[in-house]
Amino acid sequence: MKTALSLILFSSIFLLSLTKEKHSKAYKQSLKVLNGFCSYIPSGNTVVNEDTVSVQGFYMSVREISNIDYLEFLHVLKKEGQFDLLEKAKIDTAGWFMASGRNTAYAEHYHRHPAYREYPVVNVSKEGAQLYCDFLTKAYDSISNGELKIKFRLPTKAEFLRAGRGDDHNATYPWKGPYLRNSEGKVLCNFLALGPTNITRNEDGKFEVVLNAPGKPFSAFTDVLAPCKSYWPNEFGIYNMSGNVAELLGDEDVVIGGDWRSPGYDVQLTSTRPYKGSSPWVGFRVVATIVGH
């Protein structure tokens, strides 16, 4: 089974440049082992809070970090006896009860049952996510025997938007169109799709959303969360930048992109809300930059 340690993809341009040089077997093997986890996002501009920002090229994981990825990390911490870090990085399974009081099955099975291996890890803290990035940095360095040094970290807001929008600064969603369904009527991400029976007008004349209406929200396309590689990738081959899990950022204490309980307006690429700790709605992906070779 592929995990984060065996799934990192460098751009074809970079790979071609490397093949012109002579490198050790370990160096070449490291490139092979890393194939598939990241896409290269070329340098370009993006708009952040109405300001045009220049973003240097970087690599971003094509998917959210999965349960099996994160469990591998926790296993290494335990094996190495790093119990202080293990405590900081642990998964808070009780977080599932934030979603509702009837999530005992998710609390018991979501993070460890084989059926959910390729689903995004949730209920982890920002500190835990950052420790995972440190783990990947160290692991990759050992794979290449230190010949190719790459640093993993959480994305900045500018990097997230650059990867989601590409060169279209006005893109609302990563698929560029303004709609949440394609021409065949299929939903394009995991979100809370509300129907007419979920809208009511209260005594003050204001509209309200009713989630337990007879028609129910027609969002039951997934088992709450969707696998990390679901729906369709964007132009850079990246999945689920809108919906599924709201994602942590490295430079701001917010989560971005909306999640599986967010209505359509709130899964826009620019949608943010304050980060308030681990929850079943928050996950993360990583970016990587080359710092030496």
Helices (H) and strands (E) in the chain, counts: 8, 12
Of 13 and 54, which is predicted with more confidence?
54
In sequence order, which ranges of the chain are alpha helices (DSSP H)?
Answer: 12-19, 25-33, 67-79, 83-89, 96-99, 104-109, 126-143, 157-165
Domains and CATH numbers, the chain: 4-292 (3.90.1580.10)
Of 22 and 135, which is predicted with more confidence?
135
pLDDT value of position 108? 93
Dig out the tokens for 28 from the structure.
């070449």
Q: Which of 8-17, 203-212, 279-288 has the highest mean pLDDT?
A: 279-288
- For 51-92, how does the pLDDT look when each residue is reduced to its tens digit (9 = 90+)? 999 999 999 999 999 999 999 999 999 999 999 999 999 999
Nearest CA among 163, 162, 158 for reference residue 236? 163
Helix 126-143 with 25-33: angle, nearest 10 deg = 140
- For 95-152, how does the pLDDT look when each residue is reduced to its tens digit (9 = 90+)? 998 876 667 889 999 999 999 999 999 999 999 999 999 999 998 888 778 777 889 9
Which residues have C-beta within 8 Å of that of residue 30, sequence separation ≥ 6?
140, 143, 144, 147, 148
DSSP, res 264: G
Prediction pTM value: 0.85
Dig out the tokens for 110 from the structure.
């979501």
Of 5 and 194, which is predicted with more confidence?
194
pLDDT value of position 212? 55
pLDDT, the chain, mean: 86
Contact 229, 207 (CB under 8 A): no
pLDDT value of position 99? 74
HSE, CB side, 13 Å, CA atoms: give it for residue 142: 8
Containing H/E element for 131? helix 126-143
Give the least confident one: 17-26, 51-60, 101-110, 225-234. Answer: 17-26
Give the Cα separation of 48 and 53 in Å (integer).
7
